[in-house]
């Protein structure tokens, strides 16, 4: 007697969940690979390999589950990713992944949910350039005995998305005693192209401060998800494009955008009198803040929509002796308040899912708003610095 198998064949639910996460990561990575910084390109072959692999695995799971599979990549992208929320896909997910109602494409662009599930290591160009440059800067700064140079570079590129010619030359000459500095700036920026401009000018978002490439319909609207959701997003700032330079897309994605919440927090703490050191010991932490009364806090800022994914990426906090110039008495993993407000279970999922947090119970998970409120305000302005 033959039996018809209905549903996936797995050794257990954990295997089914892993299979679902692999498909989701592959498809999300493929969508991001098609996107670049300027939006999802017109569908045409060859497709991103991750997208094709995701389609193949999804089709196999659909067959095992007795469900209709996507009919090619265009159906996967145009219907499944753009119109169906993930809970309607024939995949299993852990409840803490919170996939209900989430779509991979919104308005033709990868959603924030999609961006976080994408595996950035498969973006070869970005991975090679961003990682190689960052590693080179850290290595040289260490060899020179000038670890603050890395923090200074990171601060600069986070704050300067577009440079007019004179500003670009000034940036290259900002640290004349370190000849490598000019090379780091050159490798961090590329020319502003005609496709980036409107009427001979380049747009810089009034929210996140990063450059905006116009959409196909000519509209200029920031694609960063926190900006896209803001009803009060300021109008873009416009920069003369002739001879201008813009931050490389991979540095926008992996350095400048994550750096925004870190710098915002640093400045809020400084406004209450703290002395804040950025990226101490070549980014061992995002910042160490010394309160006006001398109490010190080591901080790692994590701006993630998904606590389920963030939990996998939390690392151990460094242990520095009391005589270390960056010693801190309190370790804090800081999450932007709007993330916690939008997801009441954020902190619970993070605590439940993070092995690193369980291994270091002394580390406090706190919102940026609560950390700022805990800093005593004596009415004296502090400072944000890149060195001891």
Query: Tens of pLDDT along 218-277?
Result: 788 898 888 988 889 999 999 999 999 999 888 998 899 999 999 999 999 999 999 999
If phi > 0 it is left, if psi is from -120 to 50 it is alpha, else beta; for residue 36 that is left
Q: Which of the four pLDDT bands, split at 50, 70 and 90, describes residue 215?
A: confident
Query: Tens of pLDDT along 38-54?
Result: 434 344 445 678 888 89
Nearest Cα to 164, choosing from 183, 192, 198, 186?
192
Q: What is the pLDDT of residue 35?
A: 64
- Residues shown for the chain: 388
Q: What is the pLDDT of residue 2?
A: 33
How many CB atoms are closer than 10 A to CB 338?
Answer: 15
pLDDT at 19 over 70: yes
The whole-model pTM stands at 0.82
Least confident range from 9-23, 128-142, 307-321: namely 9-23
* DSSP code per residue over 79-134: IIIHH--GGGSS----GGG--TT--SEETTEE-HHHHHHS-GGG-HHHHHHHHHHH
Q: What is the pLDDT of residue 217?
A: 75
Q: What is the pLDDT of residue 205?
A: 95
Q: How far is CA 49 from CA 34, 73, 123, 379, in A?
A: 10, 11, 11, 56
Rounded CA gap, 322 and 376, in Å?
Answer: 22
Q: Which of the four pLDDT bands, split at 50, 70 and 90, describes residue 10?
A: very low
Q: Which two tokens stand for residue 129?
A: 């350039």
In percent, the amount of the chain with pLDDT more than 70 equals 90
Rounded CA gap, 354 and 131, in Å?
Answer: 25
pLDDT at 170 over 70: yes
Q: Which of the four pLDDT bands, split at 50, 70 and 90, describes residue 387?
A: confident
Residues contacting residue 162 through CB under 8 Å, at least 6 positions apart: 192, 202, 204, 211, 239, 244, 245, 246, 247
Q: What is the pLDDT of residue 64?
A: 85
Least confident range from 10-19, 96-105, 279-288: namely 10-19
Question: Mean pLDDT over residues 14-43, rounded?
Answer: 74
Rounded CA gap, 127 and 121, in Å?
Answer: 6
Least confident range from 44-58, 117-131, 318-332: namely 117-131
Under DSSP, the state recorded for 311 is G
Query: Tens of pLDDT along 65-86?
Result: 899 999 999 899 999 999 999 9
**C-alpha 72 chain-centroid distance:** 30
Q: How far is CA 248 from CA 29, 157, 368, in A?
A: 20, 10, 28
Give me the chain's average pLDDT, please. Answer: 88
Q: Which of the four pLDDT bands, split at 50, 70 and 90, describes residue 4?
A: very low
> Which one is predicted more confidently, 313 or 278?
278
In percent, the amount of the chain with pLDDT more than 90 equals 71
């Amino acid at each position: 007697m033959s039996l018809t198998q209905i549903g996936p064949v797995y050794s257990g639910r954990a295997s089914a969940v892993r299979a679902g996460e692999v498909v989701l990561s592959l498809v999300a990575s493929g969508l991001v690979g098609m996107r670049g910084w300027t939006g999802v390109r017109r569908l045409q072959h060859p497709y991103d390999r991750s997208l094709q692999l995701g389609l193949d695995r999804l089709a196999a799971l659909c067959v095992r589950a007795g469900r209709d599979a996507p009919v090619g990549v265009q159906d996967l992208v145009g219907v499944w990713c753009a119109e169906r929320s993930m809970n309607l896909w024939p995949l299993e997910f852990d409840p803490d992944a919170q996939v209900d109602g989430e779509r991979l494409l919104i308005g033709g662009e990868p959603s924030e949910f999609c961006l976080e599930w994408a595996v950035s290591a498969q973006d070869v160009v970005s991975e090679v350039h961003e990682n190689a440059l960052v590693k080179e800067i850290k290595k040289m700064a260490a060899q020179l005995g000038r670890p603050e140079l890395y923090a200074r570079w990171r601060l600069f590129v986070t704050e300067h998305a577009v440079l007019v010619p004179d500003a670009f030359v000034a940036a290259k000459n900002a640290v004349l005693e370190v000849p490598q500095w000019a090379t780091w700036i050159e490798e961090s920026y590329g020319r502003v192209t005609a496709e980036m401009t409107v009427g001979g000018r380049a747009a810089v978002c009034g929210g996140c401060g990063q450059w905006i490439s116009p959409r196909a319909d000519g509209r200029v609207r920031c694609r960063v998800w926190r900006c896209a959701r803001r009803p009060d997003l300021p109008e873009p700032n416009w920069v003369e494009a002739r001879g201008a330079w813009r931050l490389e897309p991979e540095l926008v994605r992996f350095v400048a955008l994550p750096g925004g919440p870190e710098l915002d927090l640093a400045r809020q703490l400084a406004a209450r009198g703290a002395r804040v050191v950025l990226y101490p010991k070549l980014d061992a932490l995002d910042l160490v803040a010394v309160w006006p009364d001398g109490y010190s806090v080591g901080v790692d800022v994590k701006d993630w929509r998904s606590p389920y994914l963030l939990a996998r990426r939390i690392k151990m906090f460094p242990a520095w002796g009391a005589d270390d110039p960056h010693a801190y008495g309190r370790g804090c993993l800081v999450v932007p308040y709007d993330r916690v407000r939008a997801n009441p279970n954020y902190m619970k999922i993070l605590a439940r899912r993070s092995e690193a947090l369980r291994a270091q119970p002394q580390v406090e998970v706190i919102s940026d708003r609560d950390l700022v409120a805990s800093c005593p305000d004596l009415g004296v302005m502090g400072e944000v610095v890149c060195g001891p």
